[in-house]
Amino acid sequence: MTHPEPETTPVLALEGVSKSFGAVRALRGVSLRLYAGEAHALAGENGAGKSTLIKALAGVHRPDTGTVLLDGEPVEFHGPADARDAGVAVIYQEPTLFPDLSVAENIFMGRQPRRALGRVDHASVRRATADLFARLGVDLDPDQPARGLSIADQQLVEIAKALSFDARVLIMDEPTAALTGSEVARLFGVVRTLREQGAAVLFISHRLEEIFQLCQRVTTLRDGAWIASEPLDGLTEDDLVRRMVGRDLAELYPKQDTRTGEVALSVRRLTREGVFTDVSFDVRRGEIVGLAGLVGAGRSEVARAVFGVDRFDGGEVEVLGTRLKPGAPSLAMAAGLALVPEDRRAQGLVMDMSIERNIGLTGFADTTRAGLMNRKAERSRSVDWAVRLQVKYARLGDVVGTLSGGNQQKVVLAKWLATAPQVLIVDEPTRGIDVGTKAEVHRLLSALAAEGVAVLMISSDLPEILGMADRVLVMHEGRLSAELTRAEATEESVMAAATGRTNQGSAA
Amino acid sequence: GGTTKDDAAKEGGTAAAGKADPNAETKKDLTVAFLPKQVNNPYFTTADNGGKKAVESLGSTYKEVGTSSGTDTAGQVSYVNTLTQQQADAIAVSAQDPGALCTALKQAMKNGVSVVTYDSDTKADCRQVFVSQASAEDLGRTQVQEMAKQIGGKGEIAILSAAQTATNQNTWIDFMKDELKKPEYKDIKLVKTAYGDDDAQKSFQQTQGLLQEHPKLAGIISPTTVGIKAAAQYLAGSKYKGKVKLTGLGTPNDMRAYVKNGTVEAFELWDPAKLGALAAHTAVALESGQITGQEGEKFKAGDLGEFTVGKDGVVSLGKPTVFSKSNIDDFDF
Amino acid sequence: MTVTATPVREEAVPEPAAGRRLIDKVFKARELAVAAVLLVMLGATQLSNTEFLSEQGIKDLLLNATILVLVATGQAVVVITRNVDLSVGSVLGISAFAAGTYLQDGGSSLIAILLAVALGALFGALNGALVSLGKVPALVVTLGTLYIVRGIDSIWVGSQQITADDLPNGFVDFGHDGIWVVPYLALLALAVLAAVGYYLRSYRSGREMYALGSSPEAATLAGVPVRKRIMTAYVLCGALAGLAGALYLARFGNVDSATGSGYELTVVSAVVVGGVAFTGGSGSVYGAALGALLLTSINSVLPAIGVSSVWVTAINGILLLLAIAVDRILALRVAAVLRKQAAQLRSARHA
Amino acid sequence: MRWDSAVGALLLVLLICSFSFVDNFGNALNLSFLIGNTLPIALIALPMTMLVISGEVDLSVGSTAGLSGAVMGALWNAGMAIETIIPICLLLGVVCGLVNGLLVTRLGLPSLAVTIGTMAAYRGIAQIVLGSDSVTDFPTQYLDFGAGRIGDTFIPYALFPFLVLLAIAVVVLHATPTGRSLFAIGASEEAARFSGIRVKRLKLSMFVTTGVLSALTGVFWALHYASARYDNATGLELSVIAAVLLGGIDFDGGKGTLGGAIAGVFLLGTLQNAMSLQNVSAQSQIVVTGVLLVISVLGPRIGRQVAQARARRRTAAAPPPQAAPST
Ligand SMILES: Nc1ncnc2c1ncn2[C@@H]1O[C@H](COP(=O)(O)OP(=O)(O)OP(=O)(O)O)[C@@H](O)[C@H]1O
Ligand SMILES: Nc1ncnc2c1ncn2[C@@H]1O[C@H](COP(=O)(O)OP(=O)(O)OP(=O)(O)O)[C@@H](O)[C@H]1O
Ligand SMILES: [Mg+2]
Ligand SMILES: [Mg+2]
């Protein structure tokens, strides 16, 4: 079945839209048309301008030139509220929740059902939220505050919020980046239903297979410029990549064979009450160990406890024979450990500081002479890594918060790789990273392992785990439920262990 | 080793004074600056206006500077410095702190400025003359006498003072305690001294506290205009109105309502305008060389008459006035 | 990737027993800690001095708290939006004087109160405009207006003062009379408190203030009219400071150029003790009011049990520290208990 | 132009104007008064700047200074040698800072709340220690150091130790890992923790430093004004904070420079001095301070908006890019 461009008027469209931030031209004359009943994908590398385009559609940014058309009529959105009132629901790339408010209030803020005299009907807010969660198959408590939700749960709340609008246009900026397969499946089910009911959908993801699963049409951006808008039928992933990158792509999971050495990271019976229990495993030099599991299984928590940003209640951690003091990241770093955290905005980066300073934060030992900062050393260390990871930036002194999501992720990687760690824990290292760079990151991790670094990779992207890991650990509800060799690890076996439907493979 | 208090005491103070010429001519065109504890304080405004009239009648220029907070000692010091800089001829200052102004005032005197303190003194060697609003002794004792009269010579009484560091109040309270030692007051018991920091709300709550802690309290003496006013306002709105006596130092304008509605029988105060005028005359006399601040020197202070410099360079205005229903309408300050 | 796995989270979490949920809620309510401290303190004082909770004593306690409760209520609203208003003391002072001047010239009491409220609201609007239009740090702006309003006040007032003699008797009586032990002023404050509390809890715009304080960016994206809400908060805060000014006049019968100076710190203390977080988005006006009651009560308790006023400042500070520390420790304890409960629940499911 | 340089420039302009138009401003005695009276604020501004940059605040500085002065007076009255007393006072500052710091870092309490509490507590303890006394008879050589100046120059003796401390502070904040870490903590405490920065320890040490320098200021205050009283330095915290904010230190943490803060301190000090010499009343001075503060935050904001508007006009004037093709 082909999808020629429908003859009807697009529900929402952009014509010749440009947007600059200072010297950065994020969008240059881009056009895009969203039709009722069609799911449209937006593809492009990190920093290509996808999020900016969405913000122009949603009334967050005012385009410098060009127009936004609603039902064929030019409109001017003066703010997100205008777009919302016009029936446009948006899931932004970074979850934006009210941490102090309950999940239910987060979803219905400003639109709460009301009783007599305009009073908010708290009970029906709660009920409606519970219904939404049921539809999405999420088991969050509507009364729970948003503070402390994992990135994935936050993303789910955002999705619920967008669905609650019953919008004519649903825009989703990488909603699946933090989700595992099952949640993605649920989400797609719901979105398909909406589309069939006549909603227009705009969808961004760096997981190309998702684009092919969900969408009928794709628009590609490169460096802020429009490249193509076309039906997905008849297109291959390679075609799409070529449109995005302008060249063919290296192998996505370039796994090098390495010789594993001595145990570099040893975790014994680690327990943090209420979060994870009795977790033991080893990672050897030269080995990439994958840590898989469903959202909320407690993988990130284990990583944080190992690194020392969280305390643990029992057990011990050894790095290269040195026993780590609980709750002391600086000592862990000194012992050769590095952690690339999952939440780059809150944990990975100081958003208001420059790229240079952010990378520099982990390297004081290398960049001080006689107790004073050596600016030159600091600068060259940062440039070195920013270039190696192909961070797309105008100046090294730019505030990191102005980078695109994927480039921010690269800065986090740079910051930690620059410490030359012996043991590297990466938590969702490629979340929000485009295919090109993803391959780059994978090659890098492989090379590091080949050099004898022990790598523990937490990822919700199952193909990534299967493609990269020498060994796969699976967590289920705070416990290790399986340890699988590369040969044993398949999608089925990992999912089975992750959902607790397993007896195969024993906990380490 | 090291430097201790005893070593420092040995160094001793310096007192420099020239010779007075009682018949010297009164100089004109002087600049006399008034530096009250606090500008915008009605009491000081009245006093300084008295000073202004006197200065102008003597053919000199008057000015007033000061801080808007009554406890901003650093501010007061810098005002002294500024006046020294501006080469004022004489300063009349009401000191927020007896010690803190010393360095600055000595520097002023070294630069030829005549320094008079009024209302509230510094250490004796930091100024030439202190113009006292009535002798401290008179003030302390008369307040006890007034209170004794009102409560019929027996019962528990308390004092509601200003800040714990307020020099004036502390001196007066010492004299009150001394007066209470006399046999005729053997039935009067001073149960507590509370401090309201010259803050209306604090004084208010301290009054409540006094009455709760000492339910048998017969009277309160509040030797501060802010304190007596706050205490009166509380009493007026409580069940204690008219039952618990209140006296102390207050201005007629502040207290008029409470005297008329029976909350307060009588209280006392000197006339602040006269205090200011006397300070002005003293300052000009000093600058003219008619006095130097030595005990026994005499000078004329216009309508106020002749005054004699007492011990430690203190000049006293005289006895305080007692205000009650009968005479309060004769005063407006 | 082909998704074959069935949805995982089908087994719903067992609904926690309603009783336990209630207990959790009660434990989480920060207001409760303050209320408990307050009750213990008042009880203990009553034991050592039976006059303390006499009719007059209770009346005094309520009267003392009234003005602070009003200002703290307004301040809490502003703090909930992640801002602060340091100018409340100055606004209180100038409104009180304005009302006093009007009454002195023979005006009616009601109009005087309205005048004070209006003047306060005006300064609130000024603060709100500066903060919301300029999108500048509230702390600096309102520290600035604190000085400016105080300066204008002292220039205008000069050495004048309003004394009880200048005020109509009805107005002064209103300042201390009441129904049995409950003074009119306290009733007024209570009504205002309840209204503001209800508004914040039950109206969209009220909820939006919490949202705004919790995350300003998210609020913008959610279409909350940020400027308007900040403006409302400041105007409300200013108006309440103005009202408090009028009541101050009635209560103390005395206003001069220093009235209300330094009050901002007391107000901020009350709000903090009452559990309204300075990072915005949490806490309630009831908490702030309890905080205000606690603070003013400490000032009545200490003199009543005969603590020398020399000790009052120190004890005040230490009690303030204790109040926030105990509250915090309790909160941490409760969080730990909840975490363990969650763990048990999870392992029960796991087994 | 960055705001801190703007404040510096403003200070310069003010100095030039005052020298040319204000009688008596330029003479050495007045300048020494100006500097001497501003020093307490400047001293505390050093650690306060760092503390605010790291996202915390200490309102108890004035009370710590008062307590230090009160203890100094009480011990002096008790006959102890001043050479012993001063170290004891500094030690007391350490304790005061530790109490603040531990409550903030160990219990996780907001520093604003904690230090409002300790502000009252320290002041109260000072009152208990010294009561209504006012101690003035410190040894002359010390008083001279506190209040005197070198010969007939404008330089107070106390300026030298301050300059040394200022130099140390500038280096620490702007050229060491510690300084870098403070900025990071202020901008995002969590990210700093994840970067291996010892957040709690650094914060604690900042509170301690603030305590020590406040105590030192208390000692200096007692000597400078030749008076140790329990209410010394009341309200100093607001002056310091006003000056530091004026100097462009962001109260949300993570932004600012020491140069800006010190320029802010001396801008307010000079302005007050000049206005007093010009016989501007205290009330009007308060208004001026307030207006300056408001401008200090509105100014950069308006400047930025003007710049943006101009940039927008420039892009608008440029030829529009070609319309994109569509399929
Ligand atoms: N607020 C801003 N200020 C300055 N530059 C910005 C801002 N927002 C985006 N940019 C720049 O605009 C360009 C496009 O960014 P955008 O976020 O749209 O990319 P993206 O396609 O969404 O990338 P990713 O896949 O990594 O999310 C980038 O170069 C980015 O640095
Ligand atoms: N910062 C936090 N504070 C408190 N609780 C948290 C925090 N982050 C996560 N949690 C909770 O801890 C549990 C497990 O965390 P998390 O979801 O991060 O595990 P995970 O296996 O790493 O999943 P993912 O990385 O896919 O999000 C969840 O119930 C989550 O709500
Ligand atoms: Mg993006
Ligand atoms: Mg995770």
- Residues from B contacting D (CB-CB < 8 Å) are 1-9, 11, 39-40, 63, 65-69, 71-75, 77-79, 81-82, 84-87, 97-100, 102-103, 123, 163-167, 170
- Reading phi first (left if > 0) and then psi (alpha if -120 to 50, else beta), residue A59 is in left
E strands, A311-400, are 314-319, 322-323, 337-340, 368-369, 372-373
Domain-located, residue D274: yes
Closest CB to C316 among D120, D250, D251 = D120
Best CA proximity match to A105, nearest among A148, A142, A138? A142
Using the predicted structure, report yes or no on whether residue D324 has a pLDDT greater than 50: no
Q: Do chains B and A touch (3 or more CB pairs under 8 A)?
A: no
Smallest CA-to-CA distance from B37 within B90, B73, B2 is with B73
| Residue C3: pLDDT over 50 | no
What is the C-alpha to C-alpha distance for residues B119 and B317, in angstroms, rounded to an integer? 10
Asked if pLDDT for residue C192 goes beyond 70, the answer is: yes
Which class would CATH give A247-336+422-503?
alpha beta
Q: Do B39 and C159 touch (CB under 8 A)?
A: yes
Name the phi and psi angles at B206, rounded to 5: -65, -40
Host domain of residue D281:
3-313
For ligand 2, whether the C-beta of A298 sits within 6 Å is yes
Which chain D residues are closer than 8 Å to C316 by Cβ? 120-121, 124
Given a cut of 70, whether residue B17 has pLDDT beyond it is no
Average pLDDT over residues B100-119: 90
Q: How many residues does chain D have?
A: 327
Cα B51 to chain centroid, rounded: 15
Question: Does the beta carbon of D198 lie under 8 angstroms from any beta carbon of chain A?
Answer: yes
pLDDT in tens, chain A (508 residues): 445 566 688 999 999 999 998 777 899 999 999 999 999 999 988 888 999 999 999 999 999 999 999 998 999 988 888 888 899 999 988 888 998 899 999 999 988 888 888 899 999 999 999 999 998 888 888 988 888 777 778 888 988 998 888 889 999 998 888 787 778 888 898 899 889 988 999 999 988 889 999 999 999 998 889 999 999 998 888 888 888 877 666 666 777 777 788 999 999 999 998 789 999 999 999 999 999 988 778 899 999 999 999 989 899 999 999 999 998 999 999 999 999 998 888 899 999 999 999 999 998 888 888 889 888 999 999 999 988 888 888 888 889 988 888 889 889 999 999 999 999 999 999 887 888 778 888 888 998 999 999 999 999 888 889 989 999 999 988 899 999 999 999 988 998 888 877 554 444 3
Q: What are phi and psi of A426, to 5 degrees?
A: -115, 125
Cα dihedral across residues C88, C93, C94, C97: positive or negative: positive
| All CATH 3.40.50.300 domain ranges in chain A, comma separated | 12-97+149-246, 247-336+422-503
Give the number of other Cβ atoms within 10 Å of residue A106's Cβ: 29
Mean pLDDT of D31-36: 90
Give A304 Cα–ligand 4 centroid separation in angstroms: 10
Q: Is the CATH number 3.10.20.30 carried by domain A12-97+149-246?
A: no
Residue (of D125, D150, D145, D2) closest to D74 by Cα position: D125
DSSP string of A15-40? EEEEEEETTEEEEEEEEEEE-TT-EE
* Closest CA relative to residue B228, chosen from C164, C66, C166, C54: C164
Using CA atoms in the order A367, A370, A373, A379, what is the torsion angle rounded to 10 degrees? -40
Interface test with chain B among D229, D283, D284, D287, by most B beta carbons within 10 Å: D229
List, as ranges, residues 168-207 from D with C-beta within 8 Å of C. none
Q: Which residues of C touch B229 (CB under 8 A)?
A: 163, 254
Average pLDDT over residues C288-314: 85
Query: If you count them, how many residues does chain B have?
Result: 333
What is the DSSP-derived secondary structure letter of residue C311? H
By DSSP bridging, strand B155-161 and strand B217-222 are: parallel
Domain that includes residue C136, residue range: 2-346
Q: Are strands A65-70 and A12-21 parallel, antiparallel or unpaired?
A: antiparallel
* Residues B75, D37 contacting (CB under 8 angstroms): no
> What band does C2 get if pLDDT is binned at 50, 70 and 90?
very low
Average pLDDT over residues D277-297: 86
Q: How many CB atoms lie within 10 A of CB A483?
A: 18
Check which CATH number belongs to the domain holding D262 and give it.
1.10.3470
Alpha carbon nearest to ligand 2 atom 6, residue? A148
Planar angle of CA A310, A306, A184, nearest 5 degrees: 85
Whether chain B has a CB inside 8 Å of the CB on D37: the answer is yes
d(CA A127, CA A121): 10
D87 belongs to a structural domain: yes
Burial class (CB in 10 A: 0-12, 13-18, 19+), C105: exposed
Q: Give domain status of residue C351, yes or no.
A: no
The rounded Å distance from CA A34 to ligand 1 centre is 22
Q: What's the distance, CA A470 to chain centroid? A: 23
Report yes or no: A427 and A340 within 8 Å, Cβ to Cβ. Answer: yes
In contact, A271 and A312? CB cutoff 8 Å: yes
- Tell me, what's the pLDDT at A247? 66
Q: Please say if the pLDDT value at position B204 is more than 50.
A: yes
Decide if D327 is inside a domain: no
Q: Which chains touch C (3 or more CB pairs under 8 A)?
A: A, B, D
| pLDDT of D291 above 50 | yes
CA–CA dist A507, A471 (Å, integer): 13
In the prediction, which pLDDT does B33 show?
A: 94
- Looking at the CA of A179, which ligand is closest? 2
Nearest residue in chain A measured CA to CA from C11: A139
R_g of chain A computed on alpha carbons: 23
Torsion angle (degrees, nearest 10) of CA C284, C287, C288, C289: 120
Nearest CA-CA partner of A362 in A386, A334, A328: A334
Own/partner pairs for D301-309, CB < 8 Å, 24+ apart? D301/C134, D301/C135, D301/C136, D302/C134
B293 Cβ neighbours under 8 A, 6+ residues apart: B17, B127, B128, B129, B286, B309, B313
The answer to whether the Cβ–Cβ distance between A139 and C219 falls below 8 Å is no
Q: In this complex, do C211 and A477 lie within 8 Å of one another by their Cβ atoms?
A: no
CA of A42, nearest ligand number: 1
Looking at residue D322, what is its pLDDT?
Answer: 41
Q: What is the pLDDT of residue B57?
A: 93
In tens, the pLDDT along B75-95 reads: 888 899 889 888 899 999 999
For residues C204-226, give the mean pLDDT: 92
Q: Distance between CA A331 and CA A348 in Å, rounded?
A: 18
Helices then strands, counting H and E runs in chain C, come out as: 14, 2
Query: What does DSSP assign to residue C203?
Result: B
Residue D13 lies in a domain: yes
Print burial letters for B277-305: b (CB count within 10 Å at least 16), e (below 16).
bbbbbbbbbbbbbbbbbeeebebebeebe
Are D315 and A64 an interchain contact pair (Cβ–Cβ within 8 Å)? yes
What's the rounded Cα separation, in Å, for the pair C119 and D270?
Answer: 34
The reply to whether C66 falls in a domain is: yes
Contact check, Cβ <8 Å, D282/B9? no
The bridge status of strand B188-195 relative to strand A337-340 is unpaired
For A294-298, A460-464, C103-107, D38-42, which range has the lowest pLDDT when averaged over its residues?
Answer: A294-298
CB B24 within 8 A of CB B290: yes
Q: For strand A423-427 and strand B61-64, is the pairing parallel, antiparallel, or unpaired?
A: unpaired
pLDDT at residue C29 greater than cutoff 70: no
Average pLDDT (B164-181) is 88
pLDDT value at residue D317: 54
Number of structural domains, chain D?
Answer: 1
End-to-end Cα spacing for chain B: 56
Average pLDDT score over residue span C289-294:
92
Contact A31, A16 (CB under 8 A): yes
Q: Separation of A46 CA from ligand 3 center, angstroms? A: 7
**What's phi and psi for A285, nearest 5 deg?**
-60, 140
Tell whether the model's pLDDT for residue C245 goes beyond 90: yes
When pLDDT is averaged across residues C23-39 and rounded to a whole number, the result is 71
Which pTM was predicted? 0.84
**Is residue D23 in a domain?**
yes
The verdict on residue D197 lying in a domain is yes
β-pairing verdict for B314-316 and B129-132:
parallel
Q: In this structure, how many other beta carbons lie within 10 angstroms of the beta carbon of residue D164?
A: 10
Nearest chain C residue to B198, by CA? C258
